[in-house]
Amino acid sequence: MTGSVLVAFIAATPPTLAAMLAFFAGRASDRAAAQERAAILSQSLEHLHVAVARVEAGVERVETGVVELRERVARLEGAQTAHPIVGG
């Protein structure tokens, strides 16, 4: 009985070892792929952050222009109400 168990163990060892090696190699490959995807995602997020910063700077410039335009219009309207145009 012991001899047949030993033969069965020896016969089962190579496929079991091969399955274990394949499993560990697959896990390592999955980890490497996940790290690669994470690096790509991180780079994409950085590009997005830069783009959002540019858009925010543009919006800020437009807001500044609108404020200056409102002030000019207010001054012009104030000047017209202080000196109404006769006959108009």
Tens-digit pLDDT profile for residues 20-50: 999 999 999 999 999 999 999 999 999 999 9
**pTM across the whole model:** 0.55
Evaluate if residue 88 carries a pLDDT over 60.
no
| Higher per-residue pLDDT: 86 or 48 | 48
Give the H or E element holding residue 9.
helix 2-82
Q: For residue 35, how many C-alpha atoms fall within 13 Å in the half-sphere facing its CB?
A: 6
Secondary structure percentages of the chain, helix, strand, coil, to 5: 90, 0, 10
